[in-house]
A and B are shown apart, each in its own frame.
Chain A
Amino acid sequence: MASLDFKTPVIREQEDAMVVAHNTRIGLVLFAIYVVFYGGFMALSAFWPEVMRKPFAGGANLAVVYGFALIAAALVLALVYMRLCRKSK
């Protein structure tokens, strides 16, 4: 770990354009996946709130399960992103 006062000199990173393009594309795809998932939650809550009351997994209703799934999905997608991103040489 860096020292407490962070005095270790840091050299600015040089990035490869190809790597930047690759990482941006991965980010956009994963972002689109999450937007669809989040949009589904917003639409169900706003237009079909009675569906959200229905028992879903383990007796918990859809509202609770979908909410937890959105939080878990954020972490899973973040880990996938980290795995797929390339690092500049």
Chain B
Amino acid sequence: MIHATSWIAVLVFLFFAGSVIGISFYLGARAKSASGYFAAGGGIHWFVNGIAFAGDYLSAASFLGICGMIAFFGYDGFLYSIGYLAGWIVALFIIAEPLKRLGRFTFADALDNKFNSRGIKLAAAISTLVVSCFYLIPQMVGAGALVQPLLGFPHYVGVIVVGLIVTTIVATAGMVSTTWVQFIKGSLLVALCAAITVMLMFRGVTTKPTDANGKEVQILRHGVPAATVTDAAGSTVLSEEGPWQGKPYVRVQDAAGVVTVWRKEGALLSEAQTLTVLLDGRKLANGRPRGKGVGEADLLPVGYASKLPGGVEKTGPLNPVSFITTMQDSEVILWGSDKVAEADGSMTTVYYQKPTPGSDFMAPGSSPTFKKVRSEKFFDKLDFLSLMLALFCGTASLPHILIRYYTVKDQLSARKSTVVGIAAIGFFYVLTLFLGLGAMTSGALDVTDSNMSAPLLARSLNELLFAVLSAVAFTTVLGTVSGLIMAASGAVAHDLMTNFLKIKMDDFQKVRSAKIAALCVGALAICLGIMFQKMNVNFLVGWAFNIAASANLPALVMLLFWKRTTKQGITAAITVGMIASLGWILLSAQAYKDVYGLDPANAIVPFSQPAIVTIPLGFLVLVVVSLLTPRPEAKPACVAG
């Protein structure tokens, strides 16, 4: 869909961005010491830190990706919400206290506290950089996805704008400004999503949705007798030749020469939408040149219930429970897609209607990502189990989350801020199910882009709300990206340069090298964001969790609970966990399909999510290498197990 530029959104965003940059410069003059730059001097109030946890964690993927996945496929997107939140249990109960006790600025500090090993420092720093980069990609892709409807600029402009703003924020005042950006963003995001959910409950569900101005959304025809379409005056049915042969479609050309595509369902036909990319790059939408002018067409917004309980047309206001049960008992038109390569080199994507009962999409296994949980084969279920394990174990291994524990003064504050974080994040994830299902029936979805579902839902309610939500979503990207760049710059300046390479630096030089590192990581993030434009952001975050959990969790846990752990064991576990999970991902069916454009059937590894294999592998390597290397000196253990 082509989205009109919303100047209110631009103004709101400029206001947010201007405010955070202003705060950064104001604070930058005061964050000169290394402790001030990396950990905000350890003096952040626990409540601010708790909301900043939410601001750091609720990334573009959480917000755009999960809502989009629920809006397009139903309950399966909510599985990510559950997994992302459950991960905080590992962080709070297992990792937070010892990490805070053992470390100073980075997570490598904590791992290395007992051993003072250069190997651990190097491995931990590289793992921090790899995880941060993998996590950065979906954030930057999300920024690009947002800027198109906001400004009408291409994807790369969004990526560059976010990259520049964030790098400025981090390079000026480090953790201090990062904290305030995350605090502002976390509170805005949760409050706004709660407000939208309340509006959704008042609106209820309808089979004839309207836009924000009260105009009825055009409903594409479904279950029409074939003769009504094929025998219409002036219409010609095109023969099923070439790539269309054997496909379940009927192509009908009208008197003006415009071709529309219908999907066969027995003797009935349903209207499909098509987007054709011609060899010269021009695009056709539903058979006409794509655009908003005369003689041009665009894909129509979709997303509506086709049957509501009791056969009503409109439910009226609902409460949260009746909203869920209404969705379970309704039938909604979801959309599938199919690609057809024409003989002249053009590529047509057909988007077709899939009437789906709520009993189906409100249970696990309705999306392509998790459909295998409904398979009878045990092996098919491993992908799902592996992802849920990665989400559970990944949160507590994400370097940009871990460094937040160094910004509060003591253990009690660390615990309190985690509880505040869990409350804010948990509340937000509960809202994602309502937002996603609301978007599913909002009549505003862009069939080509699931990531736009939440902002478009807001647009269906109110134009101003869309503007504010888009601006907040953009700020969402700023908050998470600043945390990631902060973690990466700490890994370079503190772990690699000061501790591994033993470069003698005073406080001022150390802060300066961290700022230069932040600039470099920012530039890299911009490049990656442009390269990975087409990937689903939520899936990419799943990968980052896999790598973080496989590389970092075995080392963190065993260091705390097994006294026989040696420095060689830790270094080996991080290295093997990181390489194995990264390698597995790059050889998976999903990478074949989305990254290389190859046939996923040829992928070497049997499923796409490696955690179920690579986390145990990390533990195994750590145990074996530790047993093969000399016992660590009898220094008092850091934690009583």
Contact call A17/B640, Cβ cutoff below 8 A: yes
Partner-binding segment picked from B219-227, B230-238, B380-388, B491-499: B380-388
Give chain A nearest CB distance to B184 CB in angstroms: 12
Contact call A1/B640, Cβ cutoff below 8 A: no
Bitwise, A22-37 to B at CB < 8 A (1) or not (0) is 0110011011001000
Give chain A nearest CB distance to B561 CB in angstroms: 9
CA distance A15 to B433 in the complex (A): 42
Q: Which residues of B contact A15 (CB under 8 A)?
A: 101, 411
Contact call B411/A52, Cβ cutoff below 8 A: no
Contact call B328/A45, Cβ cutoff below 8 A: no
Give chain A nearest CB distance to B267 CB in angstroms: 30
CA distance A85 to B407 in the complex (A): 20
Q: Which residues of A contact B363 (CB under 8 A)?
A: 49, 52-53, 61, 63
> Which residues of B (84-136) have their CB < 8 Å from a CB of A?
85-86, 88-90, 92-94, 97-98, 101
Tier of interface size on chain B: 35 or more
Nearest CB to that of A66 among chain B residues? B82
Nearest CB to that of B96 among chain A residues? A27
Q: Choose one: A9, A45, A63, A71; the contact of B426 (CB below 8 Å).
A: A71
Contact call A70/B85, Cβ cutoff below 8 A: yes
The size of the chain A interface, using a CB distance under 8 A, is: 52
User: Do A49 and B365 contact each other (CB < 8 Å), given the known contacts A38-B86, A78-B422?
Assistant: yes
Give chain A nearest CB distance to B609 CB in angstroms: 13
Bitwise, B356-400 to A at CB < 8 A (1) or not (0) is 000100111100000001100000010011001100100000000
B79 at the interface (CB under 8 A from A): yes
Q: Which residues of B contact A70 (CB under 8 A)?
A: 82, 85-86
Give chain B nearest CB distance to A18 CB in angstroms: 9
Q: Which residues of B contact A64 (CB under 8 A)?
A: 75, 78, 324, 362, 433
User: Do A74 and B381 contact each other (CB < 8 Å), given the known contacts A30-B93, A31-B90?
Assistant: no
Nearest CB to that of B416 among chain A residues? A82
CA distance A15 to B641 in the complex (A): 15
Contact call B418/A78, Cβ cutoff below 8 A: yes
CA distance A53 to B359 in the complex (A): 7
Number of A-B contacts (CB under 8 A): 167
B430 at the interface (CB under 8 A from A): yes
- By secondary structure, the B interface counts as helix
User: Do A20 and B640 contact each other (CB < 8 Å), given the known contacts A5-B30, A74-B422?
Assistant: yes
Q: Which residues of B contact A28 (CB under 8 A)?
A: 93-94
Q: Which residues of A contact B589 (CB under 8 A)?
A: none
Partner-binding segment picked from B40-48, B54-62, B471-479, B520-528: B40-48
Give chain B nearest CB distance to A85 CB in angstroms: 6
B321 at the interface (CB under 8 A from A): yes
B595 at the interface (CB under 8 A from A): no
> Which residues of A (72-89) have their CB < 8 Å from a CB of B?
72, 74-75, 77-79, 81-82, 85, 87-88
Give chain B nearest CB distance to A74 CB in angstroms: 6
Q: Which residues of B contact A7 (CB under 8 A)?
A: 30, 36, 41, 43
User: Do A79 and B411 contact each other (CB < 8 Å), given the known contacts A45-B373, A64-B433, A72-B426?
Assistant: no
B512 at the interface (CB under 8 A from A): no
Q: Which residues of A contact B101 (CB under 8 A)?
A: 15, 20
Give chain B nearest CB distance to A21 CB in angstroms: 4
Q: Which residues of B contact A46 (CB under 8 A)?
A: 373, 381, 384-385
Contact call B82/A41, Cβ cutoff below 8 A: yes
> Can you list 7 contacts pairing A with B, beta carbon distance less than 8 Å?
A5-B176, A13-B411, A17-B640, A45-B79, A59-B324, A78-B418, A87-B412
Query: 4 nearest interchain CB pairs?
Result: A21-B640, A27-B93, A6-B43, A31-B93
Q: Which residues of B pack against A, CB within 8 Å? A: 27, 30-31, 36, 40-45, 47-48, 75, 78-79, 81-82, 85-86, 88-90, 92-94, 97-98, 101, 176, 179-180, 321, 324-325, 328, 359, 362-365, 373-374, 381, 384-385, 388-389, 392, 407, 409-412, 415-416, 418-419, 422-423, 426, 429-430, 433, 639-641
Q: Which residues of A pack against B, CB within 8 Å? A: 1-2, 4-10, 13, 15, 17, 20-21, 23-24, 27-28, 30-31, 34, 38, 41-42, 45-47, 49, 52-53, 55, 58-61, 63-64, 67-68, 70-72, 74-75, 77-79, 81-82, 85, 87-88
What 6 new A-B contacts, CB under 8 Å, besides A20-B640, A41-B82? A2-B43, A46-B373, A49-B373, A58-B321, A71-B82, A74-B88
